[in-house]
Amino acid sequence: MSAASNRSKADQDPATWLPSAAGHRCQYVTDWVADKIRWGLGIDTVERDALVGQLDRCSNTPITIALAR
């Protein structure tokens, strides 16, 4: 991720920001979900809907979760 891209993302969630390159979106949202599960973080309805909508376009993309110790 470039510095400019990181600045444009700031602290937004997938409901308001996704990578501009469509080819990177599936990895971004699967990593997002894995991190949420790993750290036991909650999501709101808008974030959930955005994740579900994007993940519906990511057929057969595995989500790998390493649980926090």
- With respect to residue 52, please indicate whether it lies within any of the assigned structural domains: yes
Among 23, 24, 19, 33, CA closest to 62: 33
- With respect to residue 5, please indicate whether it lies within any of the assigned structural domains: no
**Tally of domains within the chain:** 1
pTM: 0.79
CA atoms of 19 and 8, how far apart (whole Å): 10
Distance from CA of residue 46 to its chain's centroid?
A: 13
- With respect to residue 12, please indicate whether it lies within any of the assigned structural domains: no
Structure tokens that stand for 54 in this block: 């994007």
The tens digit of pLDDT for each residue in 10-55 reads 778 899 999 999 889 999 999 999 999 999 999 999 999 999 999 9
Host domain of residue 47: 24-69
